[in-house]
Each structure stands twice: as C-alpha cells, then as structure tokens.
Structure 1
Amino acid sequence: MRYLPLTDADRDAMLAVIGAGSVDELFADVPAAARLAEPIAGLPNHASEMAVERHMARLSADNLTAGAAPFFLGAGAYRHHIPASVDHMIQRGEFLTAYTPYQPEIAQGTLQVLFEFQTQVARLFGTDVANASLYDGSTACWEAIAMAARITKRNKAIISSGLHAHYVETARTMAKFTGDELVTSAPELVAEPDDAAVIAAIDGGTSCVVVQYPDVLGRIPDLAAIAQAAQAKGALLIAVVTEPVALGLLESPGSLGADIVVGEGQSIGVGLQFGGPYLGLFGCREKFLRQIPGRLCGETVDADGKRGFVLTLSTREQHIRREKATSNICTNSGLCALAFSIHMTLLGGEGLSKMAKASHMRARQTAERLSAIPGVAVINRHYFNEFAVTLPHDARQVVRDLADRQVLGGVSLGRLYPHVDALSGGLLVAATECTTDEDIETFATTLAEVLA
C-alpha cells in the first residue's frame, strides 16, 4: 500500500500559510528546462523489482564509464586510483550506518575520524583550522563568500575569471537571496591568468577575492600577490582548490597568504560516481574560527583523564538559534570524508607527492603528443595535470565524435560557457596517474582522425 500521509486539505493549508498558490510555485527557481513536464520516457509506472533491475541494467549499459575507455575528463572531477582498502573500510557497519552524531560524545569513533580528517585538510591547505566537511566544492565556495561578508561587513566579491563556471553559478544562485554583489567574467584562452585585472578590481567595498588554484584552464595564479593586494584593502583572499592532488606539488594556499581555502575533495578517496556525492573542504585562519560554517570536532580529556573527542563548534541552525547560525548547511559528507581520510592516511605526504608527480608527468606527455596534431595548440605555459587546447572546430562536436569512437577526450569549454563564442574551440584535457601510454596514443590518433 502506498504511504500518503497528507490529504489535499493538508497541502492547501500549508500552501496558504507560506503564501503559495500551488506546489508548482515552490519550484519557480528551478529552470523550466530542468523540470519534467511528464514522467521519464522509457520507465514503466509499475513493474516488479526484478524487472526494474533488468531495465536499469540495460539503460546503464549505454554509459561509457571512466575505466572502460581512454579518459581525459577533468574540469573539477578527476579519475585517480583509489585503493581497494578504502572501499573495504568505509563499508564496515560502524561507519556505513553512522549518521550525524546528534549526541556527539557517544559517537567517539565518528568524532575521531572527523578530527583526523580536519587535521589532514588543514595541513593540506596550509590553514590553521578546517571544519568537518561540507557538501561539495561549489557550496563550500559560496559559504566562504558569505563568511567573508560577515567578517568584513562588506558585500562585494571579486571573482576571478578562472573560477569554474559551475562554482560561479552556485554563488549567483545564493547571492540572489543575500544581496551580495558578485563581479565576474569569463576566462580568455591565454597562457597565463590575468592576475593584474583581479588586483585592479579590488576596492574599499570588496569583501573578498575568489581565485581558483590551479584555475579552470589549469593555469596557476600568483596567490601571494593577490593576497597582499586584497589584504591591503581590508578584503580576504579565498582560494578554491578543485584538484587537491595538485597540493602534493604546489605550495599550499594558506602558506601563500589565503585567508580562507575551500575545495572539492573528490580526487582523494571518492570515485567519480557520475557526479556525486562529493566532498566539500573548508579551512581558514584561526581568528575566523567562530564564523566557519558547519561543524568542528575537537580533542579533550574525560573525567578520568583519558583522551576523547567532542563536537567543539556547531554553527548551524539545528544546534543554535537560527538568527545566530552562520549557515544552513545541515550535515557534513561524513562517509566521503572518511574515504578521503583513509586514502590520505594510506598515501601519507610522500605518497601524495608521488601521486602528484605521476599525474603531472602524464599531463606533460599528453600535451606534448597533442601539440603535434595539426590544428591543435596547447594554451598553457604552466599547469599541473590539466591544460587547455584550441581546436579548429567547435570542441563540443569534437568531444561527441571522440565519445562515439570510445574515447572520453576532455571537456569542451563551450559546455561550460555556452554563450561565449570565443571559447567554443577550447578543450580542457586532464591526465592522472591512471593515464597510460596507450591511452595517450589512442586519444591523439583518434583526435587527429576526427579533425581531419
């Protein structure tokens, strides 16, 4: 029997209280193109569990998965090798079934894991403190912008053109409800990011400067110079790291002067998973501790002097009065944070550095091979494991043609910036330690065929 707890009268009463004429009005902010006008074609309304399993298996067979083809996609989600021990550990019952500890001191194992996760993130980012994770990199980025506004009492954020388009759109969506001003622009296909333009845009009304490191085109901005310029005007520098493995080679944003560092933790311990769930990372200077969103786990001793862990700080509205909450982030990505922490523990500092060096080496090999193809030009002068190339044709069609030939050959800039004609021939290419010589050669020869 279906469980329908609400009657039509119940729904009408709730709609009347909130001032909505229909349930459909609650979805007004969702673009019409993203809303279903009718049930999904191809899915029956009623079927047995076995029939649904078979049907879904047939549908999934149409996917070209990361491990089944040469894979050069990146743009914020990267394929790295995850040891089997990570999956084994996170599937233990005490971890897999554990939820947010509302009676936190009872969940000592969960709190210890999150405490160790925070320590790893703080060391990786070069920040004094880190929280117990957020949903993903894009929401963490917005939370940092909102945090900067609270700290500086200003509401204008300068967003570098190198920030990922999806992160920008997330910030725009949230800023509609807060009144924050976001100064944004699209990137240009040039070898180096325009740090001077970012610095020139900073004024006395700027709350923060948001810079991706490496940026959306794989370029590496001068964080130290931007931090100095921002702080001279009383603004904060927010560094956004979408590829944390890069910090196995690059200097940490905190050591370069960033006040807040956020990012996406998917690369470490978390699979691609067709887009989620992912893991938001968030660190900052200690003096901003009480403005940090989410939760913070701490270490203490009990009445008998034994080491223990506690929920030290909870700034969400479910723990404190709504008007004092810094965020409505209602939980952390605990299982993904555990996967991150296990993988990072297995790697250690030396292992992370080796992983980063291997990824960089594969990217350089890929760039060198692609640059030998007529009509293909590598844009970047400096990069970690991702770079941009220009093609003689619209990169969106090239990507589709490559996929038809069983090659996942990068992310077209036209997909990220559909209204910027100057970027239509741009292609983002990423390589990692999982990339092989055969992958590179197959990609190059197939791309040459498609462009011919």
Structure 2
Amino acid sequence: MRYLPLTQIDRDAMLGVIGVATIDDLFVDVPEAARLDGPIHGLPMHASEMAVERHMSALSRKNLTAGDAPFFLGCGAYKHHVPASVDHLIQRGEFLTAYTPYQPEIAQGTLQMLFEFQTQVARLLGTDVANASMYDGSTACWEAIGMARRITKRGKAILSSGLHPHYVSVAKTMAKFTGDALETSAPTLGADTDIDALIAAIDKDTSCVVVQYPDILGRIADLKPLADACHANKALLIAVVTEPVALGAIKAPGEMDADIVVGEGQSLGVGLQFGGPYVGLFGCKEKYVRQMPGRLCGETLDADGRRGFVLTLSTREQHIRREKATSNICTNSGLCALAFSIHMTLLGEAGLRQLAAINHAGAVAAAERLSQVPGVELVTTSFFNEFTLKLPVEARPIVRTLADRGILAGVSLGRLYPGEDALANGLVVAVTETTTAEDVETLAAALQEVLA
C-alpha cells in the first residue's frame, strides 16, 4: 500500500467530524509533563540515512548495557541467559510476527505453540487454565482486578504494599475509568510482609486482594492464610509473579489456592530490551475461565479425526459485541510467548529447578558478602534471587556513583518510592545465573569504598 500523507485540509475535515479543534485536543488525558513541546532535543529535523545511523550509533554508545558491567538490577525485569536457539527459532518465517492470524485455524503451528505455552504457564503458576498471553505483567495485573470485579460484583481492591509500584500505577490509571477503589500503601523496610494487615483489611466490599510473590523487596510469604481469609469473605486472591524462575524453587501461588495468578514472563526467553516488549502471564481457576481476558487456544479433532488446534475462547471486543467483552486487550504477545515457550521447553522441569537453585544459591552468597560491608544491613531474610539491603545513607546517590564506575548496583527504593523517606536507604539487589563471584566482589569492594 502506498503511503499517502494527509493534507491540512484532510486533517481539518477529520477534526471537524470528531468535534475537536486541534490534534492536541486528542491528548488531553496524557499528563502535560509527559508531552513533548517541540522536536526531540539533539535530533536534526532532517538528515541522510548515513548521517542518522552515525548519530544514533553515537547516542547508543552512551548507554551502559547489561552485558558490559556487573549487573544487579531487578525489580520486575531480570538478566538471564537466553540460549541462542531461542532467537534462531523465533526468527523462522512462519513465526516472525507479533500477531496471531485473524483466521487462526489456518495457522496450526501458531495455535499449537500457544496451546503449549498455555500448558506451560498453567503448570508453572499452579492454575487450572492459562490464556495465550497478555501485553506484560502490569497490564495483566490490572486485567485480573477487572476480572475480580466482574466475578464478585464488588468494586474495592486491596493492593499489597509489596506490589511493584509500577503495577500499582497502571492499576490506578485504569481505575479512573472503571470507578474501582484501590487501597494502597508503601512497604516497610523490614523483613516482615504485610499479610496480616491484608487479612485484617478484607471486608464485605472487597473484590480482591492483590499480593506480589516474591514481593518488591524480595520477601516470600505463605499465601494460604490470605487465600482462606479472602474466600471466607467471598473475595478473590490475585497473586503477581514478576520473576517466574522463582517458581522452579518455591510453591506456585495456585497451589496455595490463589484464584488468579498473573505475572511477567520476561525472565524466560526474552531479553531486557530496554524495557520491552515483554509478555504477560495469566492463569486462573477453571470456574472463572469465561471471565478471563484475552484468548484461549484449545485442542480438538478435525472431520477426519486428526489432531487440530482452534481458538476456543476469545471474549474480547474484536470477536463479540463490545458491551459483552471482558477486556479491550486487542492482541497477545505472540512472539515473546513463543520465546518463553521455547526456553521453557529447552529447560524442562528438571532444568528449571536447577536454574532456580543456581539463582538462589548465588543470591544467598551475594547477600552474605554484601552484608559484611560496614554499615550495610540485610533486610530480607527470606528470598529467592532478589533481596533488599539497608545502607547507612540514601541509596540513590550511591547507585549513581557506582554506575559512573561501571557497576549497576541495584534499584534504589528512593527511585521507586520518591518522597518516602523511610525507604530512601533501601537498595534492591538481584542475582541470577549470569552474575559471577567476581561481580559480587567488585560490587562489595566498590560499595565499601564509596560508603567509607
């Protein structure tokens, strides 16, 4: 199709039809601070292709990338080793698209892959069923809250203080349009989770309780008492998993009677990629399947008795009347789901458990070493591959100083919770199979020097 740019007359006619004066009127819901007031600084208005390539290459060299430094960042996005075969397979011609075909039954390979992905996710999360993926973990979390509202006919969600603040932010944004009341708070810089406080907060108006597992500080809690309290009040328990590798070592939320389990699948098969695209995981109990957003692929037999795959359930607005749609989620992260599924297949159950064990052992060793630095206190006593340190000073300037030295030391809680002075000294450190003992020693030595 040829590209035919619009004239100003075309634009004016379109604006007149929809009833706004300018294009800017279409973006009034975007905060002013997030809008550009002119061209992007540093980019020329026009240039040759070669000049643009040189300019963009120069800009890229200013980045300190994950593979070029000791790397301890986490908080929802993790650096894991992705086998080369994953990238090779997802680039095959029959797979290299982000879209699920709109006549899905003719794409048996794509449907079979999504069917296998669903099976893997359901087993990983401990749920009866799983869908064919969501955009990412944060939007999956919001979709779960919306699903709980439809099931319980209630409009108040209690969000754990240990839920990732970015997930909370997405939920708050969406709740503006649905009227859901969200109860939120900042975490306490300590070893204990807020499970008891969540149980105490549940009442007859509660649709769901949302808890992260492990939480933003890396803490792990038994979710069964919380699930029991939710069900006693006819509310649902939603568990959020941002590090799926953890489920190779700790009990799946579905096994602790969570009703809906969602998460971010980036750790398996998908690189960091400067923040996306990622892949959302979504599973639930079978009795709630018709309220689940997104797509569900199923297995059947064709007219000749041969195994085949179909789009079994798709309660989204593109397939049924808009007012009956469960969600406006318009696609699934098909290519990232494929990468996830390939990586999971290569690992197998034994491989995932071994990978989880390596991650945990590395994190324990790192926590022991870093807590030996004078003035540094280990906050998290129960964790998988991510833990929180309390520094004797504000963590954010320390992180910047170490980044200038070529060490990506972790995520400061002051960055995640600006204005929360009680959290300012907190530093969340993640360790994976890609972290070496030399990396840990480099961080420990540098941390001791800058804190002296």
- In the other structure, the counterpart of 1:260 is 260
How far apart in 1 are the matches of 2:97 and 2:137? 24
Does residue 399 (structure 1) correspond to residue 412 (structure 2)? The answer is no
- In the other structure, the counterpart of 1:125 is 125
Give the length in aligned residue pairs: 451
Shift of 1:39: 1.0
Shift of 1:17: 4.3
Superposition CA RMSD, Å? 1.2
Residues 241 and 261, structure 1, Cα contact 8 Å, conserved in 2: yes
How far apart in 1 are the matches of 2:36 and 2:449? 38
Aligned residue type for 1:372: Q
- In the other structure, the counterpart of 1:329 is 329
* Alignment deviations for residues 64-89 of structure 1 (CA, whole Å, 9 cap, x no partner): 11111100000000001111000110
The farther-off stretch of 98-107 and 226-235 is 98-107
How far apart in 1 are the matches of 2:427 and 2:443? 13
How far apart in 1 are the matches of 2:434 and 2:68? 12
SS in 2 for 1:215: coil
Residues 386 and 428, structure 2, Cα contact 8 Å, conserved in 1: yes
SS in 1 for 2:95: helix
- In the other structure, the counterpart of 1:184 is 184
Q: How does 1:230-309 map to 2 (within 5 A)?
A: 230-309=230-309
SS in 1 for 2:88: helix
Shift of 1:220: 0.9
How far apart in 1 are the matches of 2:425 and 2:17? 51
Aligned residue type for 1:43: L
How far apart in 1 are the matches of 2:193 and 2:18? 46
- In the other structure, the counterpart of 1:35 is 35
How far apart in 2 are the matches of 1:443 and 1:67? 15
How far apart in 1 are the matches of 2:424 and 2:221? 23
Aligned residue type for 2:304: D
Q: How does 1:271-420 map to 2 (within 5 A)?
A: 271-420=271-420
Q: How does 1:6-25 map to 2 (within 5 A)?
A: 6-25=6-25
Gaps of 5+ in 1: none
Shift of 1:354: 0.6
SS in 2 for 1:361: helix
- In the other structure, the counterpart of 2:73 is 73
Residues 97 and 335, structure 2, Cα contact 8 Å, conserved in 1: no
The farther-off stretch of 339-348 and 364-373 is 364-373
Residues 192 and 220, structure 1, Cα contact 8 Å, conserved in 2: no
How far apart in 2 are the matches of 1:29 and 1:98? 28
Q: How does 1:185-204 map to 2 (within 5 A)?
A: 185-204=185-204
* Alignment deviations for residues 168-201 of structure 1 (CA, whole Å, 9 cap, x no partner): 0000000000000000000010101021100111
Residues 99 and 332, structure 2, Cα contact 8 Å, conserved in 1: no
* Alignment deviations for residues 243-271 of structure 1 (CA, whole Å, 9 cap, x no partner): 00000000010000100000000000000
Aligned residue type for 1:163: L
Aligned residue type for 2:55: H
Shift of 1:3: 4.5
* Alignment deviations for residues 35-78 of structure 1 (CA, whole Å, 9 cap, x no partner): 11121122111112122111111111111111111000000000
Shift of 1:375: 1.2
Gaps of 5+ in 2: none
Shift of 1:13: 4.0
Aligned residue type for 2:179: G
Shift of 1:133: 0.2
* Alignment deviations for residues 278-318 of structure 1 (CA, whole Å, 9 cap, x no partner): 00000000111111101000000000000000001111111
Aligned residue type for 1:267: S
* Alignment deviations for residues 196-226 of structure 1 (CA, whole Å, 9 cap, x no partner): 1001110000000000000000001221010
Q: How does 1:430-441 map to 2 (within 5 A)?
A: 430-441=430-441
How far apart in 1 are the matches of 2:432 and 2:406? 19
- In the other structure, the counterpart of 2:56 is 56
Shift of 1:142: 0.1
TM-score, normalised with respect to structure 2: 0.98
- In the other structure, the counterpart of 2:112 is 112
How far apart in 1 are the matches of 2:229 and 2:90? 43
- In the other structure, the counterpart of 2:445 is 445
Residues 98 and 333, structure 2, Cα contact 8 Å, conserved in 1: no
Residues 74 and 411, structure 1, Cα contact 8 Å, conserved in 2: yes
- In the other structure, the counterpart of 2:222 is 222
